[in-house]
Amino acid sequence: MNQSNNLFNQAIPQIKELEMWEKYDFINSPFIEIPHTVKMDKITKIIVDMQYPKRGMQHSIEKCLIRKEALERLLIACTYLPQELSFKIWDVYRTWNLQNELYYAYKPEIIKQFNLQNLSLEKQEKIISNYVSIPNKNEILPPLHTTGGSIDLTITDLRTNKDLEFGIEFDDFSDLTNTAFYEKEDLNEIVKANRRLLYNIMTQSGFTNLPSEVWHYDYGNRAWGYYENKPAIYKGIFTIDKMPLIISFEEFIKILENDNSSKNSIELRKHQWN
């Protein structure tokens, strides 16, 4: 799946803010547990570094759980990465309890950072939701990460064991987190190129980006549906015990080897996955 460097250096467009999206055609897609590292043809292409357990969030989970179709597209994205680079996953599935904890932990910080003190609650929530979903319990319009179709990630250099520079840290809140921020400002060409690399690889692989967060990508949930103008296929799953099925990465690969229903599965079988 070789692509020219020009494809992954295309400018990041200014994308409209996410609005509520009620079109859906839900499927009972299984969840896959991604191991700490995933290798493609014996080269590390995914490193799991879940952030909320490290940050001491009470309701965080150690497992990295993602929907089957979203994982297929993440592995497709791995085939686009230069040999010396790997994805580093910060967060995927969240329980409702974790989403609720994050919302009330981050809400005061976001209000202060963006000077929202004098706005109505409705206007505050609209801006806050660009950075942390409101913890409602509506399975049709759920917090994005409760679907298993949202992924927060960066790119790391295997030669130096350092993450590429993106001009912002994970879960920082400012205009700098806007994915296209460095497109409109003559600030740092390295940051601009790194953001373009991640954005173009992920969108080429079937994901959409939440424009307020450079690290956040979606497949199958209502955000993806909104930007692709398609019905969402993943509803909110608020507790792990309500998941339709959880399978190991090894089981997923076995399923992939017998799946001739999509170009993605055929393409992925060209590679060895560990």
Per-residue pLDDT band for 2 (boundaries 50, 70, 90) equals very low
Report pLDDT for 60.
96
Domain residues of the chain, as ranges?
18-258
Percentage of the chain with pLDDT > 90?
90
Condensed to tens digits (0 to 9), the pLDDT of residues 61-71 reads 999 999 999 99
Give residue-wise pLDDT tens across range 79-127. Answer: 999 999 999 999 999 999 999 999 999 999 999 999 999 999 999 999 9
Phi first, then psi, for residue 182 (nearest 5°) are: -75, -5
pTM, two decimal places: 0.95
Please state which architecture CATH assigns to domain 18-258: 2-Layer Sandwich (3.30)
Confidence at residue 3, expressed as pLDDT on a 0 to 100 scale: 45
pLDDT of residue 5: 66
How far is residue 252's CA from residue 194's CA, in Å, rounded to a whole number?
30
Task: From 213, 130, 241, 180, select the one nearest 10 (Cα to Cα).
Answer: 180
pLDDT in tens, 118-138: 999 999 999 999 999 999 999
Mean pLDDT (the chain) is 94
- % of the chain exceeding 70 in pLDDT: 98
Q: For residue 1, name the pLDDT band (cuts at 50, 70, 90).
A: very low
Whether 129 contacts 17, CB under 8 Å? no
Other Cβ atoms within 10 Å of 189 Cβ, number:
9
**Displacement of CA 65 from its chain's centroid (Å):** 12
